[in-house]
Amino acid sequence: MSAGFTISLFASLVLSGWMLSAPAPAASQSLPAGDAGQIFGSLSIGKPVFNPAAGEAMDLSLGLKRSGRVTLRVFDAQWREVAVPVQDADLGAGPHKLSWDGHDADAAIVPNEAYFFTVEVVGADGSTEIYDPTAFSGGIESDISEAELDRLQGTFHYRLPGPARVNIRIGLESGPLLLTLVDWEPRTSGQISEYWDGRDRDGLLDLYEHPKRKIIITCFTLPDNSVITIGNADRAVVNDVPASPRALKPDRTIINARSGKESPHYRLSRQLDRSPNLRVEFKSLEEVINGVSVITGRTIVNLDMDERSKRDFVNSKFEIVFFLDGQFLAEEEAGFIPYNWTWDTTQHAPGDHHLTVNLSTVTDQIGVASKRIRIVR
């Protein structure tokens, strides 16, 4: 069974261009979109995805108009320098093949994530040209307006016009967020399939047929010539701590005025731009029967996070919103973790309900947790 949905759409257009710089005292200058430099001609990647853990490498095609000394650098999504596969290589005019084996400066396979390249070319006269895709591309926000759900296959299909970092949130219209299916993860262009069992984060509700189900797919473009690595079961996230310090890429001048809105998530740390892992417990309850918390009278609802989330969000303030059966219940606009809320259940009808909590940061990270409860008199 398939079903479609529509949400708002914002057009996205990626510009391309070059940044040309020269040694002091000469001033830096910009080149028009799509142009190359006087030495540098072009750069392209061999494929959008590769598996370093399986011994695959990423081949790049470099074109030079004149001979020069070339350095190729690899950066992760936090703009940290990961590797320098080519350094000060003297290359002549014409096409060249470069390669990156998917390892970092410590010879370890990089985490599964998106990476981009910069190229520095020093000419015979000492002038320097720098290809930096973040100076003219990446970060343009858009929403995906069409997608298809296939309940029989347990899949969720949509199409991306180009490589992007994707966020998919599923909840109820005028109600709570119930699941972040994809949490700002990189995806390639074309048809994308995600797996979803149709249930909320805690497996309490079947959302496939829910009349108020709402799905929002938001994305922002990756810098040009980004590649995505897969296959590393040991380092599956980019926010782990490297074995040695990493240099940060300079924030170079944007050459072209962006044709779309830059996502507020684009320049956030990948470590912090993720959903907190929220936990909900009741400090006073009668018993738990088949996963249902039995509550009578007043109870204290305790909110907390796992240790990793507490570490990452230790200095954050939160907006905390409680929902009962998908309807607004209460709100705390300046909450903190851990947080205790006294709830008088005598104000609600006896019987089975579900309590959902949304915890939001000022930079739009949302933690979700739900519990089945039974109110008794």
Domain assignment present for 259: no
Q: pLDDT band at 122, cuts 50/70/90? A: very high
Same domain, 120 and 173: no
Pick from 135, 152, 180: which residue ends a domain? 135
The reply to whether omega before 25 is within 30° of 0 (cis) is yes
Query: Is 121 in contact with 69 (CB distance < 8 Å)?
Result: yes
Same domain, 342 and 304: yes
Q: What is the pLDDT of residues 140-173, one digit of tens each?
A: 999 998 999 999 999 999 999 999 999 999 999 9
Domain assignment present for 73: yes
Same domain, 126 and 33: yes
Domain assignment present for 32: yes
3-class secondary structure for 79-104? Answer: CEEEEEEEEEEEECCEEEEEEECCEC
Half-sphere exposure of 54 (CA within 13 A, CB side): 9
Domain assignment present for 30: yes
Domain assignment present for 348: yes
Same domain, 364 and 311: yes
Same domain, 110 and 158: no
Predicted structure pTM score: 0.86
| Number of domains into which the chain is organized | 3
Same domain, 149 and 130: no
Is the Cα dihedral 108, 111, 112, 117 positive or negative?
Answer: negative
Pick from 221, 242, 264: which residue ends a domain? 221
Class of residue 79 by CB neighbours under 10 A (exposed 0-12, middle 13-18, buried 19+)? middle
pLDDT at 130 over 80: yes
Cα–Cα distance measured from residue 216 to residue 221, given in angstroms and rounded to the nearest whole number: 17
Strand, helix or coil at 54? helix
Structural domain that includes position 297: 278-376
Question: Which residues does 241 contact at the CB level (< 8 Å), separation at least 6?
Answer: none
Domain assignment present for 237: no
Question: Which residues does 106 contact at the CB level (< 8 Å), separation at least 6?
Answer: 242, 243, 244
> For position 96, which CATH number holds?
2.60.40.4070
> For position 194, which CATH number holds?
2.60.40
Class of residue 272 by CB neighbours under 10 A (exposed 0-12, middle 13-18, buried 19+)? middle
Half-sphere exposure of 88 (CA within 13 A, CB side): 1
Cα–Cα distance measured from residue 142 to residue 8, given in angstroms and rounded to the nearest whole number: 9
Main-chain dihedrals φ then ψ at residue 343, nearest 5 degrees: -120, 125
Same domain, 152 and 126: no
Same domain, 367 and 322: yes
Q: What is the pLDDT of residues 5-61, one digit of tens each?
A: 333 222 222 222 233 322 232 333 333 334 468 999 999 999 999 999 999 999 999
Report CA 152 to chain centroid distance, whole Å: 28
Domain assignment present for 171: yes
Pick from 108, 135, 162: which residue ends a domain? 135
Question: Which of the pair, 311 or 325, is modelled with greater confidence?
Answer: 325
Same domain, 109 and 153: no
pLDDT at 351: 96
Same domain, 46 and 121: yes
Domain assignment present for 125: yes
Same domain, 173 and 102: no
Question: Which residues does 348 contact at the CB level (< 8 Å), separation at least 6?
Answer: 324, 375
Same domain, 217 and 354: no
> For position 316, which CATH number holds?
2.60.40.10
Question: Which of the pair, 257 or 282, is modelled with greater confidence?
Answer: 282
Query: Is 300 in contact with 341 (CB distance < 8 Å)?
Result: yes
